[in-house]
Amino acid sequence: MASIGKFCSLVFLAIALVGCDGNRECSNNNPILNANEIGSTAYNIELVRLINTTDEGAMDYYFESYTKDASGEYITVRAQGEDFCAPSIFLVTEWTGIENIRSTSGKGYVGAELEDFSFTINGDSEPIQLVFSSVSGIFD
């Protein structure tokens, strides 16, 4: 009987741990984001508007991928607020805080939360680019 109790306790603990995962379900009903290509000027402007109008405590950022091409190195990050969830492409020129993502080409980091994620906007380019600035930590 004691082993059944331990088993049930482990099952409930596992359910609680899965239920506490900060990686919330991703859904988006924003017509501007849905109608435009990820990384386009219209998409990036709408995303920045959504981020700026969402309470900072309600925003989460999750790493999705790393890419490199002739124009630079990029990370794709899922920005998730109360009413939206949107993958976003960020140019990376400064790797402080995410050096391991670069050295592993992102392998092993998919889904990791980027704590205190911040970025700037390069409005001198077309499309307008989002540029990674910093994180305080990476949590798997």
Residue 37 covered by a domain: yes
Evaluate whether 112 touches 138 at the Cβ level (below 8 Å).
Answer: yes
Does the pLDDT value for residue 11 go beyond 50? no
Residue 94 covered by a domain: yes
- Measured CA to CA, the distance from residue 70 to residue 32 in angstroms comes to 29
Cβ-based neighbour number of residue 113 at 10 Å: 19
Containing structural domain, residue 89? 26-139
Residue 71 covered by a domain: yes
The whole-number pLDDT of residue 14 equals 37
Residue 16 covered by a domain: no
High-pLDDT (> 90) share of the chain, %: 73
Residue 91 covered by a domain: yes
Number of domains in the chain: 1
The whole-number pLDDT of residue 26 equals 81
